[in-house]
Amino acid sequence: MTGRRIALSVNGSGHDVWVLPSDTLLDVLHDGLGLADVRYGCGEGVCGTCTVLLDGEPVSGCLTLAVQAAGREVTTLRGLAGPGGALHPLQECFLRRGAAQCGFCTPGMVLTALDLVRRRLARGLGRPSREEIRYALIGNLCRCTGYTKIIDAVAEYADLAAAGTSPPAAAP
Amino acid sequence: MVAPAFDYAAAGSYDEAVRLLAAAGEDAKILAGGQSLLPMLNLRLARPALLIDINPADQRQPSLATDAAAGRAAAGHGAGTLLRLPALTRHRVLLEHDLVRRWCPLLAEAVRHVGNVRVRNRGTIGGSLAHADPASEIGCCALAAGARIVARGPDGDRTVPVSELFAGYWSTTLAASEVITDVLIPTARPRQGWSFHEMVRRTSDFAIVAVAALVELDERAERIAAARVALAGVADRVTLAGPELLAGLAGGAAEDIDAAAAAVADSLRPASDVHASGSYRRRLARVLTARALRQARARATGGDS
């Protein structure tokens, strides 16, 4: 159970961190690097509050070992911010639609929805339907909103992104 | 919930994984996608001393192979072409890859029901089969499709039909120092139809009962020449319906399908648990089997109902 030093790239910054083999990526991001936008929810990969992008793909921070992220690019919600900390257009849609209440699930919702829209547009499939948005977000639990406004926000962003008025931000 | 301490070793090849397994014995577990293993660790349902990470061992993509190249004729499926899925093929790839969608549409469709986006990004077909969950959609389809796995051990590779892989709840017939490297699936054939149905309380939950069916028509596309039905959630392992139970299907009439589905359900003795009673599971098995056989037959004739 010897610890080891690994190089993590998080939101574009390099970090040298000392980890145990059994440390999850969630442990290191939240407790080690103080990233409060990656959150412990269930520890089983069901709730989605620890969602991060690993080389651009959503994964559960609680089901990924920190050592497995060495040498790969990790993006958390705050990695989506533009210059000067400007909100991502999808975050603006969440605000405009009132899609966050307590906010605990919001980082995971935003990252998962962004992946959905990016992937569909990249594959030439066009904007996702509301049913497809629901399906993509099935692994992100929200105990406040009842989901409707979250789906409204993602649908609005998908329209903007598909129309090119708000290109889906380049993969970080 | 915090996982118990364990050690970690990255295997750069399957051979290295086998060496590490052989040295560590029963205290080691292979880490593939980790979407079942890590929850078990976080819940402390498993306490391995060592995780052997095979993710660095394989970068291959799905491909087609001839049966001869794969080493054996596919029992019951004749000679033909195989879809070769490297063990580390992620569920997301099964869902989206053109070869899988074209040559094993049953699997591509069923994977929609597995977990959530994050599970599908990390989870692998080899890991899913090695985990041997009795409610596994992937195990159910592999069984219905007559798939085989290639297992590497200290003495080299051997091929195991999936029908001989599962040994009970979360256990397989693999030796402690064997690791799955490939899954070989006989490709879809002309006049063959497929269907997958499951009952869940919420999308992405484990199946209460799942049914995968393949139906192949004769050369005149009139009678059913062969049918295979596999079920999940009805026993201590995913289960292939006995061929004798489907023998009366040849004419393919609605009442023949209903009779076969009833015979399949009657052959099962599902346990009761917190999710469903055994008798409800048996009823689901009958209804879903009939539904799957009807749809598979319709698809075999070119219909799409």
The predicted complex's ipTM stands at 0.94
**Angle, alpha carbons B87-B92-B93 (nearest 5°):** 60
In this prediction, residue B251 carries a pLDDT of 84
Q: Is residue A171 part of a domain?
A: no
Q: CB A58 to CB B51 under 8 A? A: no
Query: Nearest CA to CA, how far is A84 from chain B (Å)?
Result: 30
- For B181-224, write each residue's pLDDT tens digit: 999 999 999 999 999 999 999 888 899 999 999 999 999 988 99
Task: Please tell me the distance from the alpha carbon of residue B119 to that of residue B123, in angstroms, as a whole number.
Answer: 5
> With bands split at pLDDT 50, 70 and 90, how would you rate the model's confidence at B67?
confident
Same domain, A140 and A109: yes
- For A59-113, write each residue's pLDDT tens digit: 999 999 999 999 999 999 999 999 999 999 999 999 999 999 999 999 999 999 9
Q: CB B121 to CB A136 under 8 A? A: no
Domains of chain B: 7-53 (3.30.43.10), 63-186 (3.30.465.10), 192-300 (3.30.390.50)
In this prediction, residue B1 carries a pLDDT of 72
> Is B4 a residue whose pLDDT tops 90?
no
> Is B85 a residue whose pLDDT tops 90?
yes
In this prediction, residue A81 carries a pLDDT of 95
> Is B79 a residue whose pLDDT tops 80?
no
Arithmetic mean of pLDDT over chain B: 93
Q: CB A63 to CB B38 under 8 A? A: yes
Which has the higher per-residue pLDDT, B270 or A165? Answer: B270
- For B124-176, write each residue's pLDDT tens digit: 999 999 999 999 999 999 999 999 999 999 999 999 999 999 999 999 999 99
Q: Is residue A89 part of a domain?
A: yes
Residues of A in contact with B119 (CB under 8 A): 45, 60, 139
Same domain, A75 and A87: no
Residue from the list B1, B31, B119 with its beta carbon closest to the beta carbon of A45: B119
In this prediction, residue B253 carries a pLDDT of 87
- Looking at A63, A79, A95, which one is the last position of a domain? A79
> With bands split at pLDDT 50, 70 and 90, how would you rate the model's confidence at A169?
low
Q: Is residue A172 part of a domain?
A: no
Q: What share of chain A is helix, strand, coil (3-state, %, to 5)?
A: 40, 15, 45
- Looking at A59, A79, A99, which one is the last position of a domain? A79
Same domain, A57 and A104: no
Q: Is residue A113 part of a domain?
A: yes
> How many domains does chain A divide into?
2
In this prediction, residue B23 carries a pLDDT of 95
> With bands split at pLDDT 50, 70 and 90, how would you rate the model's confidence at A35?
very high
Residue from the list B7, B55, B118 with its beta carbon closest to the beta carbon of A58: B118
Same domain, A19 and A58: yes
Same domain, A73 and A96: no
Q: CB A62 to CB B42 under 8 A? A: yes
Q: CB A43 to CB B35 under 8 A? A: no
In this prediction, residue A168 carries a pLDDT of 54
Q: Is residue A23 part of a domain?
A: yes
Q: Tell me the CA distances in angstroms from B267 to A41, B31, B242, B246, B264, one per residue in order.
A: 42, 36, 9, 12, 5
> With bands split at pLDDT 50, 70 and 90, how would you rate the model's confidence at A166?
low
Residues of A in contact with B118 (CB under 8 A): 45, 48, 51, 58-60, 63, 112, 139
Residues of A in contact with B40 (CB under 8 A): none
- Looking at A61, A79, A97, which one is the last position of a domain? A79
Q: Is residue A169 part of a domain?
A: no
Q: Which of B78-101 are b and which e, b meaning 16 or more Cβ less than 10 Å from the residue's Cβ?
A: eeebbbbbbbbbbbbbbbebebbe
Q: Domain range holding A142? A: 83-163
Sequence-distant (6+) residues with CB within 8 A of A159 are A127
In this prediction, residue B71 carries a pLDDT of 46
| Beta-carbon contacts below 8 Å between A and B | 89
Q: Measured between CB atoms, does A45 come within 8 Å of chain B?
A: yes
Which has the higher per-residue pLDDT, A69 or B250? Answer: A69
Over residues B41-65, the mean pLDDT reads 96
Q: CB A45 to CB B55 under 8 A? A: no
Q: Is residue A168 part of a domain?
A: no
In this prediction, residue B76 carries a pLDDT of 44
Residue from the list A1, A21, A138 with its beta carbon closest to the beta carbon of B203: A138
Residue from the list A22, A60, A64 with its beta carbon closest to the beta carbon of B3: A22
Q: Measured between CB atoms, does B6 come within 8 Å of chain A?
A: yes
Same domain, A112 and A68: no
Same domain, A73 and A87: no
- For A106-140, write each residue's pLDDT tens digit: 999 999 999 999 999 999 999 999 999 999 999 99
Q: Is residue A117 part of a domain?
A: yes
CATH number of the domain enclosing A112: 1.10.150.120
Written as six digits, the tokens of B247 are: 């023998």
In this prediction, residue B69 carries a pLDDT of 47
Q: Measured between CB atoms, does B204 come within 8 Å of chain A?
A: yes
- For B225-242, write each residue's pLDDT tens digit: 999 999 999 999 999 999
CATH number of the domain enclosing A45: 3.10.20.30
Same domain, A158 and A87: yes
Which of B 216-245 lie inside 8 A of A, CB atoms?
A: none
Among chain B residues, CA nearest to A134: B203
Q: Measured between CB atoms, does A13 come within 8 Å of chain B?
A: no
Q: CB A1 to CB B5 under 8 A? A: yes
The percent of residues above 90 in pLDDT, for chain A, comes to 93
> Is B289 a residue whose pLDDT tops 60?
yes
Same domain, A62 and A88: no
Same domain, A92 and A47: no
Same domain, A74 and A87: no
Q: Measured between CB atoms, does B56 come within 8 Å of chain A?
A: no
Same domain, A46 and A105: no
